Structures are given as structure tokens and as C-alpha cells.
Amino acid sequence: MPLPAPDAARPAAAAPAAAAAPAATHRAGWLAVGLLVASALLMLLGASVGSTGFDSVLRMAHDPVALQIVWDIRLPRTAGAWLAGALLGLAGAVAQGLFRNPLADPYLLGSASGAALGGALAMAFFGVSPTAAQWLARVGVTGMAFLGATGAVLLTLALARGVQHTLRLLLAGVIVGVVLGAARDLVELASPDILQAMQAFTLGSTSFVGWVACALMAAAWALSAGAAWALARALDGLTLGEATAASLGLPLGPMRAGLVAAMALATGTAVAQTGLIAFVGLAAPHLVRSIARVTHQRHVLLSSLMGATLLLAADILARWALAPQELPVGVLTAALGGSYLLWLMHRRSVQGGAL
């Protein structure tokens, strides 16, 4: 009996791999639809959560006070929570892909601490606060936070001597975060009048988000998402290794710079408007990977949608749990996100795998 040609066995061997890609794309599409539907439902729920409950929504057609409560207070903070989560999810996906480490997020790399320091300097030197409604005040805080986040990431990269050594990179990020956090504390001590604003800032809250902040976060998301989408080929190449990515002809230097800028812009803008909200940037990419493994172009956008949905759900829960009082959403995300990370580490250690 004649032996089959070498190429005859290839279709059968390649069939599972060929079928896996459309299946992952199909799951990714359903995930995006599900997240968008969940976001729409949570938006409606967020507009109804408050001290007056659904009554304000029912009466806003003929009651100016109810209309003001829903339109000027509930809707902007609901949209702001969604946008801040989208920015943090995007930044987390970029960080984990750029540094090839599933534990990387904006906080571990020092960019959030740098953004907080920039915001504190803006409040101390220019007399603005995150509760200000003026465009100039908002742009000033966001601009300083962006510069602080960018400087923190660059300092982390300089201390780690690049991104080749993961452990050194994470240690450098922790050191930069601690040092910049101490510098922020010194700024607060030197300017006691900003202590109250910085307390809400460090706990994380959407209570002072207005339509101006939403507009700034939407613009920052459009810029950072566009940059991450355009430069996602570098993230795909880096998953194969530094040498392989370079052999593909990718200009890794400029592409890395663009990705770092996108991550810093997303983190700086989110932190400037809502304060320090932990674990959203870390958990969102993990959840997306557990459902659908796709290229980084889709992964970055899906992580952004996942982060938006997670933070919006957490914000609604924080408003409802202790009503009429409010729990800072950063405290809630830290508790839930830390519990999720511990469970994930335990599961992977039992299975003998890595994060």
C-alpha cells in the first residue's frame, strides 16, 4: 500500500488549530455584545440609584429638581465610572502585553502613583481640585497627572534597564510607586488645605465626576485606544519574544514609546478624575483571557469594555451597599479585586500553572 504524501497529513493536523481561531473570534464577538448590553443595563440602573431611588427617574419629566438630580449628578458619575473603568482596563491590557507579564498593571509600574503626585502638585500649586467644574481646572489636573504617570513609567524603565527582566521591572515599579507616594505625602503635608480633596482622591470615588470630566475621559480614551489599536502588532510580536519581534521588522523602539504614552494617558486621566481605583486594570485583562484568547487588537478593546463594566457595577454597588451613605468605590474594588487575585493564584498553584 503506498504511503500518503507528506502534505496529505497536514490538513488533519492543522484542523484543530484552524478551527480554534474562528471559535475564539466567535467567543470574542459574543463577549463584546454581552459587555455592551450589560453596560447599557447598568447605565439605566446607575441613573436610578440614589437617596431618592427610582422616584427621581419617574418624576423628572415634570419635576425640575428630579431632572437635575438625574441629569447633573447620577448620569455623569455613572458615565464617568464607565469611562474610568474603560481607561484602566485599556491601560492594564497594554501594560501586560508590553511587559509580557500578567501581573503588570498601571499601579505596579508606578504610573498611578505618578499620576496621583501630579494631581497633588496641581492642587497645591495652582489651587485647583478634582471637584472643580471649570475646563481649565480639569485640564490642569489631568495634564499634571499625565506628566506624572509618564515620568513614573520612564523612571521605572530606566531603573529596570528595559523590559527584558520581568522581576527587575516589577521591583523597580514597586520602588518608584513607594517613592512617589512618599513625595505625594510630603506635598500634602506642605499644603494642608488639599488634605480633604486628596483623601477622596486616594480612596477613589466617582462622586465628584461631572460632564466636563466625562468629556475629558472620553477624549483620552479615544486617543489611547486608537494608539493601542494601531500599535497592537508590537504586542503580538512581543509575545513571541524580543528577538522574534525584532526579526519581523517591527520598529520596537517607537512602538514601545507610543504604547507607554497611551498607557500613561489612560492611567493619568482616569486617576485625575476618579482617584486611585485598584485592581480594575489587573482583573479585566485576566477575565477577557479566560473567556477568549484573541490578538491584542481585540484583546485591548475587550479589556477596556470589561474594565468599564466592572467599575460601573462596583460603583453602583458602592452607592447602594450603605445607602444613604456611600462607600468609596476604590475600597470596594480593592477588596473584591484582591480576593479575585488570591483565588486566581490559588487555582493556578493547585493546577501547577502560571498566572
Q: Is the pLDDT of residue 240 over 90?
A: no
Question: What is the radius of gyration, based on Cα positions, of the chain?
Answer: 22
Mean of the pLDDT values across residues 211-227? 93
Weakest-pLDDT range from 22-31, 90-99, 303-312: 22-31
The pLDDT value given to residue 40: 94
- What is the rounded distance in angstroms from the CA atom of residue 309 to the CA atom of residue 317? 12
Nearest-5° angle of CA 162, CA 163, CA 166? 130
Mean of the pLDDT values across residues 50-55? 60
The pLDDT value given to residue 145: 78
Domains, the chain:
53-351 (1.10.3470.10)
Collapse the DSSP code of 91 into the 3-class scheme (helix H, G, I; strand E, B; otherwise coil) and give the result: helix
Residues 115-152: pLDDT tens digits? 889 888 888 877 655 555 455 555 667 678 778 888 88
- How many other C-beta atoms are found inside a 10 Å radius of the C-beta of residue 42? 21
- What is the rounded distance in angstroms from the CA atom of residue 78 to the CA atom of residue 351? 39
Weakest-pLDDT range from 29-33, 294-298, 342-346: 342-346
User: What is the per-residue DSSP string for 6-65?
Assistant: GGGGHHHHHHHHHHHHHHHHHHHHHHHHHHHHHHHHHHHHHTT-STTTTHHHHHTTT-HH
Q: Is the pLDDT of residue 114 over 80?
A: yes
Out of 41-45, 196-200, 222-226, the most confident range is 222-226
What global pTM score does this model have? 0.84
- Burial pattern 69-108, b for ≥16 Cβ within 10 A else e, equals bbeebbbbbbbbbbbbbbbbbbbbbbbbbbbbbbebbbbb
Contact yes or no for 124/187 (Cβ under 8 A): yes
Q: Is the pLDDT of residue 297 over 60?
A: yes
Q: Is the pLDDT of residue 158 over 90?
A: no
Nearest-5° angle of CA 112, CA 42, CA 80? 35
The pLDDT value given to residue 166: 63
Q: Which three cell numbers stand for residue 164?
A: 527584558
- Burial pattern 142-159, b for ≥16 Cβ within 10 A else e, equals bebbbbbbbbbbbbbbee
Q: Is the pLDDT of residue 67 over 80?
A: no
